[in-house]
């Protein structure tokens, strides 16, 4: 498993479903449409969780029982103060529709305003206020649409339930809007058939593009500068059908051109590519922006507009009402559906700080571990590699509040997460019931008790925050990241370095004492489970980092005794991730100076893996070093590709072989636009880029007053399994590279995540360091 599914479901708050009463009414006469009448609502049965339904931030919805249930707060003034809704519902003027739903309330007499409306003007097609009973009641309304809400502006279906004095629970099910035309097949805008890195190319670097064409014979191409003058030309190289895209493609190689400037374009087969630049400082801004993402994901601190313009917000989860905060968090309640673990109800601890993991506002040690490790590794590489620009990551180079403190800014950012990881460690001398067996280990995660809706500002999140049972994997993530941090902070803060090393050695010993405490796979309410039942790789990684930091024989022995020490199968063209971290240890052993016996074999194994990736990359029409044996692309495929580029970059640092460096540049082109969808997956970079990623904070698509994700944010990328209702409804039968949609509701293809951006950050620094000009 390369990335975790995030089922958007949770335990129902109250599911009142004792019988079904029928209350049928209409804007005329209620009608029953045939089964083949087009359905315009997505996931109205809640069989796939709650997406793409959204809620206002003062409630959270759950669909664990097959209904959507939500606790409606009291004390609001207007019906629209509390809303459950779905956007982008096509309604065509003059067409007939039937809008129906089942609803129940645990308190009789509560008002539910059900509307189908224009979200821009609020002009309604249906506007009915009903009072559901304690058993599910069916409501049905027929109407002929008066507005055309099928193109740029589509209808909103909403249930406005505010205005009550006391809390109550609403459950909804079988929401339907039948009528109109069958939804047109989703057709992405793929732009010109000449696909390029939309950011550009290095003057002395490899420069390749992909032409999509029906032709199977070579064709002429030409490179135009900003003035439209042809500055290079040549002939394409037929590549045949690219299996991941289902397209016949040809390669354009214009590496021989060594000029520089902006506004270049490629022409071939009657098509002109998006414009791009050729310059040696091409990636300096991306190096910065890919790391600023982490600042905007910080928990427990106000985000300042002076540092991240347009992204200012109040500190999240510090316990300022209505937020319950991370300042005094207890253990999750025992649940037979999970593993029946909890701890003394009186236990409370401070777990403020850290980074919000992804689109939700949970904080996970196993994802935080790999993410902070990659930032630390990026800095370490910058200091050790022959091409590392030593000052590029120094103090004053990034946008962080700590800048100017004589500590490299990237380490300041890493410290924010490391300090949080330290707080997640169970005290060694604990006497708390339920935790005594886990002394020295790390809690798996902290997040809301239930899934929150979109949008959701962290400071106004009303949910109870809960700690989840310690796990061996989380403990070893803490050990590895803290050990790595200890050696890098020594020159700047010896006390913090000692604290990190103490935590790392304590965690490693605790993990060895409890080597098989696994996070439950069923623990997916309110946050991802991040379950992992094979921690051999975490033990190897942690031992490697402790050995590199201390040089101690005991850790050296554990590294050498690990079955993963020289095993070639730790690398795969599928890439590595939070659940397969052995490559992190292997690459550090290969590049950080040490005296490990047999280190030459360790270094050779990285080169062998890189050779495999180069061979795979050469077979692909779009040049990405990612060829899953199954043909199915994983959740977070972009991070898998980037992590393979990390392997190639590390091989270049070891050997200096140009082919590995070219492999990184070639593969990075895919991320920045040279792909089947002709989209840059990095917000703010390129002509046409992802900007509606799944995130509760930057939900501009749902609330225009909110920003898009900040520049430098990476979208997860194509996911062949289409693990959310939006992707499933739009992309059924897609070729792998087409299994992506830039929609905030498509969490399986379009989420942001710290471990995805950490891979982007590492690669951005690598390519920025090359400055080939």
pTM value > 0.85: yes
Residues 250, 399, single domain; the answer is no
Question: Token digits for 380?
Answer: 């370490």
Per-residue confidence (pLDDT) for residue 34, from 0 to 100? 54
Name 453's bridge partners.
none
Q: Per-residue pLDDT tens for 26-36?
A: 333 334 445 67
At residue 144, does pLDDT exceed 50? yes
Q: Per-residue pLDDT tens for 537-553?
A: 999 999 999 999 999 99
Residues 568, 597, single domain; the answer is yes
Cα 317 from Cα 349, distance rounded (Å): 13
Q: Considering the chain, what is the average pLDDT of its residues?
A: 93
The CATH number linked to 632 is 1.50.10.10
Residues 239, 323, single domain; the answer is no
At residue 11, does pLDDT exceed 60? no
Question: Token digits for 30?
Answer: 């209620």
Q: Decide if 326 contacts 381 (C-beta within 8 A).
A: no
Per-residue confidence (pLDDT) for residue 65, from 0 to 100? 84
Residues 84, 213, single domain; the answer is no
Helix 637-655 / helix 658-671 crossing angle, nearest 10 deg: 160
Residues 628, 491, single domain; the answer is yes
Residues 293, 401, single domain; the answer is yes
- Give the pLDDT band of residue 168 (cuts 50, 70, 90): very high
Cα 727 from Cα 742, distance rounded (Å): 10
Q: Per-residue pLDDT tens for 389-448?
A: 999 999 999 999 999 999 999 999 999 999 999 999 999 889 999 999 999 999 999 999
- DSSP string for residues in 561-587: HSTTSS-GGG--TT--BTTB-HHHHHH
Task: Determine the straight-line distance between the first and last CA of the chain, rounded to whole angstroms.
Answer: 40
Q: Per-residue pLDDT tens for 368-379?
A: 999 999 999 999
Burial call 354-379: b when 16+ CB within 10 Å, e when fewer: bbbbbbbbbbbbbbbbbbbbbbbbbb
Burial of 62 (0-12, 13-18, 19+ CB in 10 A): buried
Domain assignment present for residue 15? The answer is no
Domain assignment present for residue 185? The answer is no
pLDDT more than 90, % of the chain = 87
The CATH number linked to 209 is 2.60.40.10
Q: Decide if 700 contacts 692 (C-beta within 8 A).
A: yes
Burial of 641 (0-12, 13-18, 19+ CB in 10 A): buried
Which region among 217-221, 285-289, 520-524 has the lowest average model confidence (pLDDT)? 520-524
- DSSP string for residues in 327-396: SSBEEPPP-TTTT-----TT--B----SB--BSS--EEHHHHHHHHHHHHHHHHHHHHSTT--TTTTSTT
Number of separate domains in the chain: 3
Token pair 């790392």 is at which residue? Answer: 504
Q: Does the active-site annotation cover 694?
A: yes
Cα 67 from Cα 503, distance rounded (Å): 44
Q: Spot the catalytic one: 360, 380, 461, 669.
A: 360
Per-residue confidence (pLDDT) for residue 15, from 0 to 100? 27
At residue 71, does pLDDT exceed 70? yes
> Among residues 111, 126, 115, 105, which one has the least CA distance to residue 163?
111
Per-residue confidence (pLDDT) for residue 182, from 0 to 100? 85
Domain assignment present for residue 14? The answer is no
Q: Does the active-site annotation cover 632?
A: no
Per-residue confidence (pLDDT) for residue 674, from 0 to 100? 98
Question: Token digits for 120?
Answer: 């821009």
- Give the pLDDT band of residue 604 (cuts 50, 70, 90): very high
Per-residue confidence (pLDDT) for residue 773, from 0 to 100? 53
At residue 515, does pLDDT exceed 90? yes
Residues 237, 371, single domain; the answer is no
Residues 132, 268, single domain; the answer is no
Domain assignment present for residue 11? The answer is no
> Among residues 721, 763, 731, 8, which one has the least CA distance to residue 358?
8
Residues 515, 368, single domain; the answer is yes
Per-residue confidence (pLDDT) for residue 772, from 0 to 100? 66
Residues 126, 209, single domain; the answer is no
Name the domain boundary from 126, 149, 179: 179
Per-residue confidence (pLDDT) for residue 210, from 0 to 100? 98
- Give the pLDDT band of residue 566 (cuts 50, 70, 90): confident
Question: Token digits for 142?
Answer: 């027929």
At residue 16, does pLDDT exceed 80? no
Average pLDDT over residues 756-766: 98
Domain assignment present for residue 631? The answer is yes
3-state secondary structure of 595: coil
What's 80's DSSP letter?
G
Q: Spot the catalytic one: 317, 447, 468, 694.
A: 694
Q: Does the active-site annotation cover 48?
A: no
Per-residue confidence (pLDDT) for residue 54, from 0 to 100? 87
> Among residues 41, 119, 115, which one has the least CA distance to residue 33?
41
465-471 and 330-331 strand pairing: parallel
CB contact set of 513 (below 8 Å; sequence gap of 6+): 440
R_g of the chain computed on alpha carbons: 27
> Among residues 149, 143, 155, which one has the least CA distance to residue 98?
143
- Give the pLDDT band of residue 351 (cuts 50, 70, 90): very high
Structural domain including 656 reads 284-770
Name the domain boundary from 245, 278, 311: 278
Q: Per-residue pLDDT tens for 81-109?
A: 999 999 989 999 999 999 999 999 999 99
Cα 725 from Cα 592, distance rounded (Å): 45
The CATH number linked to 98 is 2.60.120.260
Domain assignment present for residue 8? The answer is no
What are phi and psi for residue 524, nearest 5 degrees? -120, 25
Name 160's bridge partners.
83, 113
At residue 248, does pLDDT exceed 60? yes
Instruction: Compute the C-alpha angle 313/318/324, nearest 5°.
Output: 110
Domain assignment present for residue 722? The answer is yes
Q: Per-residue pLDDT tens for 497-511?
A: 999 999 999 999 999
Domain assignment present for residue 748? The answer is yes
CB contact set of 185 (below 8 Å; sequence gap of 6+): none
At residue 21, does pLDDT exceed 90? no
Q: Does the active-site annotation cover 360?
A: yes
At residue 4, does pLDDT exceed 50? no
Residues 596, 696, single domain; the answer is yes
Residues 203, 150, single domain; the answer is no
Q: Decide if 357 contacts 369 (C-beta within 8 A).
A: no
């Amino acid at each position: 498993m390369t990335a975790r599914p995030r089922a958007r479901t949770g335990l129902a708050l109250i599911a009142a479903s004792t019988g079904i009463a029928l209350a049928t009414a209409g804007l005329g006469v209620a009608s029953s449409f045939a089964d083949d009448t087009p359905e315009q609502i997505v996931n109205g049965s809640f069989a796939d969780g709650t997406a793409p339904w959204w809620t206002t931030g003062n409630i959270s919805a759950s669909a664990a029982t097959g209904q959507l249930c939500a606790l409606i707060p009291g004390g609001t003034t207007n019906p629209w103060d509390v809303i459950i809704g779905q956007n982008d519902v096509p309604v065509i003027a003059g067409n007939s529709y039937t809008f129906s739903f089942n609803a129940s309330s645990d308190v009789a007499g509560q008002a539910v305003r059900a509307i189908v409306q224009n979200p821009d003007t609020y002009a309604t097609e249906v506007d009915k206020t009903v009072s559901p009973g304690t058993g599910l009641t069916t409501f049905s309304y027929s109407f002929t649409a008066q507005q055309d809400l099928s193109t740029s502006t589509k209808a909103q279906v909403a249930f406005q339930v505010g205005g009550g004095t006391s809390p109550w629970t609403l459950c909804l099910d079988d929401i339907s809007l039948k009528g109109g035309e069958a939804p047109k097949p989703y057709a992405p805008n793929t732009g010109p058939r000449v696909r390029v890195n939309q950011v550009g190319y290095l003057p002395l670097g490899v420069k390749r593009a992909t032409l999509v064409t029906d032709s199977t014979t070579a064709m002429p191409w030409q490179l135009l500068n900003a003035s439209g003058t042809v500055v290079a030309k040549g002939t394409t190289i037929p590549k045949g059908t690219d299996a991941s895209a289902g397209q016949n493609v040809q390669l354009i190689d214009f590496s021989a051109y060594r000029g520089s400037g902006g506004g270049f374009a490629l022409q071939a087969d009657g098509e002109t590519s998006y414009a791009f630049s050729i310059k040696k400082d091409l990636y300096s801004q991306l190096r910065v922006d890919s790391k600023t993402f982490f600042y905007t994901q910080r928990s427990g601190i106000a985000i300042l507009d002076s540092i991240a313009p347009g992204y200012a917000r109040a500190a999240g989860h510090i316990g300022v009402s209505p937020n319950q905060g991370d300042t005094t968090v207890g253990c999750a309640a025992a649940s037979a559906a999970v593993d029946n673990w909890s701890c003394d109800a009186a236990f409370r601890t401070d777990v403020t700080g850290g980074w919000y993991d992804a689109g939700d506002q949970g904080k996970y040690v196993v994802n935080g571990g790999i993410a902070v490790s990659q930032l630390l590794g990026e800095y370490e590489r910058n200091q050790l590699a022959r091409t590392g620009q030593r000052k590029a990551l120094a103090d004053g180079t990034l946008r962080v509040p700590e800048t100017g403190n004589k500590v490299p800014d990237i380490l300041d950012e890493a410290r924010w997460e490391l300090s949080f990881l330290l707080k997640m460690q169970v005290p060694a001398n604990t006497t708390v019931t339920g935790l005594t067996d886990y002394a020295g280990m790390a809690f798996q995660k902290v997040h809301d008790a239930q899934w929150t809706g979109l949008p959701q500002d962290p400071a106004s999140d009303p949910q109870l925050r809960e700690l989840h049972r310690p796990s061996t994997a989380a403990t070893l993530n803490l050990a590895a990241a803290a050990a790595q941090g200890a050696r890098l902070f020594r020159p700047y803060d010896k006390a913090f370095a000692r604290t990190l090393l103490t935590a790392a050695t304590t965690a490693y010993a605790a993990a060895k004492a409890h080597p098989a405490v696994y996070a439950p796979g069923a623990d997916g309410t309110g946050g991802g489970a991040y379950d992992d039942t094979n921690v051999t790789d975490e033990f190897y990684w942690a031992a490697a980092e402790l050995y590199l930091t201390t040089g101690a024989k005991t850790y050296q022995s554990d590294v050498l005794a690990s079955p993963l020490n020289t095993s070639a199968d730790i690398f795969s063209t599928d890439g590595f991730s939070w659940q397969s971290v052995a490559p992190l240890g292997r690459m550090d052993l290969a590049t950080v100076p040490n005296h490990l016996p047999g280190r030459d074999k360790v270094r050779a194994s990285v080169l062998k893996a890189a050779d495999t990736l180069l061979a795979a990359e050469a077979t692909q029409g779009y040049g990405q070093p990612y060829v899953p044996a199954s043909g199915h692309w994983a959740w977070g495929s972009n991070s898998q590709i980037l992590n393979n580029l990390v392997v190639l970059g590390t091989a270049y640092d070891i050997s200096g072989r140009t082919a590995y460096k070219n492999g990184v540049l070639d593969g990075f082109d895919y991320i920045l636009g040279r792909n089947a969808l002709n989209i840059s997956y990095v917000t703010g970079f390129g002509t046409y880029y992802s900007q509606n990623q799944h995130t509760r904070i930057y939900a501009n698509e749902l609330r225009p007053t909110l920003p898009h994700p900040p520049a430098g944010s990476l979208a997860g990328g194509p996911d062949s399994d289409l693990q959310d209702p939006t992707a499933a409804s739009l992309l059924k039968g897609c070729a792998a590279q087409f299994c992506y949609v830039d929609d905030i509701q498509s969490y399986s293809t379009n989420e942001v995540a710290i471990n995805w951006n950490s891979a982007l950050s590492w690669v951005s620094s690598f390519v920025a360091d090359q400055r080939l000009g």
